[in-house]
Structure 1
Amino acid sequence: MLAAACAGTPVASPAPSASTAQTDRPASASPSGSASSAAGDGVKTSANVKLVANVPRAAPLDGPMSWNSDLAFQGKYAYVGNFAGFTIYDISDPAQPQTVSQVSCPAQQNDVSVYGDLLILSIDEPRSGETCDSRSAGPDRDGAWEGLRIFDISDKKNPAYVSAVRTDCGSHTHTMVPGKDEKKLYVYVSSPGPEPDSKTCPPPHELIQIVEIPLKDPKSAKIVAKPNIFPDGQGDGAFATGCHDITAYPEKNLAAAACFGDGVLLDIADPVKPKVLQQVRDTENFQIWHSATFNNDATKVVFADELGGGGMPTCDSKTPKTKGANAIYDIAGGKLERRGYFKMPREQTAGENCVAHNGSLLPIKGKDVMVQAWYQGGVSIWDFTDSAEPREIGFFERGPAGGQNAIAGSWSAYYYNGYIYSSDILKGLDVIRIDDPLTDPAGQVTMDDFNVQTQKSY
């Protein structure tokens, strides 16, 4: 949750290539791209997990607040969002990722997804304009803009800005739902709000926004619906109303929305007119319903709670195991029924921000296994095949980043074609491998692309 374009094409600049870490001790790249020792990095892993490569952030995306954010994948490329823009990596050899291009386009949070030749960024910050050369609008928000930016990535070395769509309260995250006719792409915009004195985020805000992108004419993208998916009103979210994140499973005509104080199960057979199947709350354990993940059969949903908004040390003995954790819900008779909770089990120090954050399913038939980011808690791989008795099977983490309550660690950790890719806020892109009898079948599945908020069966 932590926390928005050029008159023409944004500046795309080459950056140092990856470093590798083939030994049991990880290594990270110097600015020149050569490998250097990381023995003092405080890395700890389970016996079945190894860091195989790290690519540090590089100029112009390496400033103090140029945090890495979300990830997306397409063929041999990984796309990494950053508060200062985004980077495209060639991951043909996961142990030797190569930087293809970087685009300077500042805004919070720049969460990224890709579809065909299009790349979409979520902007959750009032800017002076829609293009990449805009600046933060500051307290005077008259004329400010926030929402979605769209890029053409047909030339990976030179991504080109295409257009933007303004949305109320910006776009904290977004979810792609392909149209039935394959001519249109729908994007569900999730955003917190309202801000009563804001020009870009007026009340009320108990809704999501749906943007239609004609694939042959992305410049004409526009909002086509603002459905209110809260028939019973919205729960007492800690920060806002609206939704934080939505995961769609188009093949199943389902979506699960994590909406601050609520979890919502949706029928998306008509992508422009989602229908509410159920709305659930857990006021005892959950503070911020942050994200959702279906299992492959769409018989379960994992909802994550981002207690404290991502900036607090909640992975300690003082915080209950059901808070800042994952709740596993079975879908029984079309209804969500809570079965159990999972929380990363290693206690962190009082200076480490740690809470459940972005993760994805591993493609293993007959088993329910996730990899998940926990900020400074690192990366956890866990099995929820038994919904009532989830268990961790592997982990990777660094030591404290330094400084009391420093914002650091893994923002997103996703599995893609045999490897785990972790977008570390300060350290850059980590490539991690798990070798375990439970997870080995996942290596036999090849994905053509992967956007975590748009699930596909395997």
Structure 2
Amino acid sequence: MASGRRRKVWAALATTVAAAFTSLALASPTTAAPAFPGVDEVVKSDNVDHVANIPKQAPFDTLANLNSDIAFQGKYAFAGNYGGVTIYDIGDPRKPKIVSQVVCPGSQNDVSVAGDLLFLSTDSSRNNDSCSSTTQPVTVKESWEGIKIFDISDVRNPRYIKSVENKCGSHTHTIVPGGKDTTYVYVSSYLIDQNSVGPDCQYPHDKISVIKVDHKKPTDAAVVAEPVLFPDGGNPGDGLPYPEITRQTTGCHDLTAYPDKKIMAGACMGDGVLFDITNPLAPRTIDVVRDDENFSFWHSATFNNKANKIVFTDELGGGGTATCNDTIGSQKGANGIYDIVGKGDKRKLVFRSYYKIDRDQADTEVCVAHNGNLIPVPGKDIMVQAWYQGGVQVWDFTDSRHPKTIGFFERGPLSNTQLQTAGSWSAYYYNGYIFSNDIQKGLDVLDVTDKRLAPAKRVHFDELNVQSQHSYGRH
């Protein structure tokens, strides 16, 4: 999701595209309009049960305070929101309870946990690093963006203990274990246009920041490396009118590490990348792929358990546009499924197919491929994924060339007259259930009653940060 200064650009583009969709619809009177769910109406497949919902609570319950990512530890879920973090007790997934809320504004509040520490991304220019900060232009030298660190040893009273400033802020971040008592935090950020440029954030922004955190001395956390990932400048973009445009690569939106395999997948605006992270301070590029015909904005990535496939998502429209309709079609704004072929430094990413939800969404619904993770079914490649107002999708890509749908859950639009941002930002499988952080409606809990997923019920994790994958075999 584009945030802060970046959201203004996407919002203007979204308005233009929404108007174009309306014009196209009016120009085709002989085409029957599809029947969409009513406002807030829940629709789902028969094999998905909606077992719980907790609405957003004040002060996070405004349209502007979007729910964002989720991390898990033990019986707790840590759910980001543009206003801070909500901690839920999910010990009984059918009866989740709010344990505490941390008020700490700063989009987009991407969240991860490691031991007694919680990491929070701030990607909007602030007047200071406190949890009472306000917005301030990026052109002001003293403005702050970066990572905030909290002590969550007492989940009822999290304590803010440290901030680490990053060039261009932290849109998302990824944690990578660094050995006993050490965690590396990979910070992803990017430039969307000249309005993003400031004293600390300049073109070419072709790097990430690596923060080293000693869990015994977390207040000593600091940036220890800024590896350049695109020495050739990355994808220059095609400069075509939106929505055909392929974004210029000026950083990465999301990095997904697979520490057990010492590899990482980068969704980096105009590029999809496979990295070697044997040396965590110096990620090394193995292969780069582009899809200038159908991919607009490489947004996130998911390995399969064997690490011989990657699913890349395309955030067409920046999370502010209706893209799940006949006007856009089935290939633009879709997932791209790639096999990893070969070994070592000769590994290549080979495209196999696209996958997109097949339920048309109304032109007042922001629908876009977003965050998901593997459902741990041994021997199968099955994923749950958020699609904003396209809802939550469960699908199988065991056959890379022929992915198929297993089930879904979604709500109708917030409005029949206005395009509004809503729906599932992150939908993750954790210890038997799917937890969806709905941007406007709060935390949803789903149970998929499908025999194909039954083996996953036996796989349990003590901690889950989706952007740091682990093999099922270890649990």
TM-score (norm 2): 0.87
- Find out whether 1:277 has 2:275 as its counterpart: no
2:183 aligned partner: 185
* Runs of 4+, deviation exceeding 3 Å: 194-197
**Structure-2 change in CA distance of 1:410 and 1:44 (3 Å):** same
Distance 1:89 1:310 in 2: 26
Greater relative contact order (CA < 8 Å, ≥ 6 in sequence): 2
**Structure-2 change in CA distance of 1:110 and 1:155 (3 Å):** same
3-state SS of paired residue (1:439): helix
Distance 2:340 2:247 in 1: 26
For structure 1, which segment, 381-390 or 399-408, has the greater mean C-alpha deviation from structure 2 after superposition? 399-408
- Find out whether 1:313 has 2:322 as its counterpart: yes
**One-letter identity of the residue aligned with 1:209:** S
3-state SS of paired residue (1:242): coil
**One-letter identity of the residue aligned with 1:377:** G
1:121 aligned partner: 120
Q: Following TM superposition, by how much is the alpha carbon of 1:279 offset from its aligned partner in structure 2, in angstroms?
A: 1.1
3-state SS of paired residue (1:442): helix
- Find out whether 1:74 has 2:73 as its counterpart: yes
Distance 1:166 1:65 in 2: 24
TM-score (norm 1): 0.90
3-state SS of paired residue (2:260): helix
5 Å matches for 1:78-97?
78-97=77-96
- Find out whether 1:448 has 2:471 as its counterpart: no
**Structure 1 stretches lacking a partner, 5+ long:** 5-38
5 Å matches for 1:378-389?
378-389=391-402
Distance 1:130 1:109 in 2: 15
Q: Following TM superposition, by how much is the alpha carbon of 1:239 offset from its aligned partner in structure 2, in angstroms?
A: 6.3
Distance 2:233 2:83 in 1: 36
| RMSD over aligned Cα atoms | 1.4
Distance 2:395 2:112 in 1: 25
Deviations 1:49-77 (A, max 9, x none): 01100000101221231110000000000
Q: Following TM superposition, by how much is the alpha carbon of 1:40 offset from its aligned partner in structure 2, in angstroms?
A: 7.3
**Structure-2 change in CA distance of 1:89 and 1:204 (3 Å):** same
Deviations 1:265-294 (A, max 9, x none): 000011011111011111011000000000
- Find out whether 1:376 has 2:389 as its counterpart: yes
Distance 2:356 2:426 in 1: 16
5 Å matches for 1:403-414?
403-414=417-428
Q: Following TM superposition, by how much is the alpha carbon of 1:437 offset from its aligned partner in structure 2, in angstroms?
A: 1.4
Deviations 1:358-383 (A, max 9, x none): 00001011100000000000000000
- Higher helix fraction: Structure 1 or Structure 2? 2
Distance 1:40 1:327 in 2: 31
**One-letter identity of the residue aligned with 2:218:** P
2:432 aligned partner: 418
- Find out whether 1:301 has 2:310 as its counterpart: yes
Q: Following TM superposition, by how much is the alpha carbon of 1:139 offset from its aligned partner in structure 2, in angstroms?
A: 6.4
Identity %: 55
Deviations 1:304-336 (A, max 9, x none): 000010111100011121111100000010211
5 Å matches for 1:47-62?
47-62=46-61
- Find out whether 1:253 has 2:262 as its counterpart: yes
Distance 1:102 1:337 in 2: 44
Number of equivalent positions:
423
**Structure 2 stretches lacking a partner, 5+ long:** 5-37, 238-245
Distance 2:351 2:248 in 1: 24
**Structure-2 change in CA distance of 1:139 and 1:300 (3 Å):** closer
3-state SS of paired residue (1:431): strand
Q: Following TM superposition, by how much is the alpha carbon of 1:194 offset from its aligned partner in structure 2, in angstroms?
A: 6.6
Out of 257, 262, 267, the position equivalent to 2:271 is 262
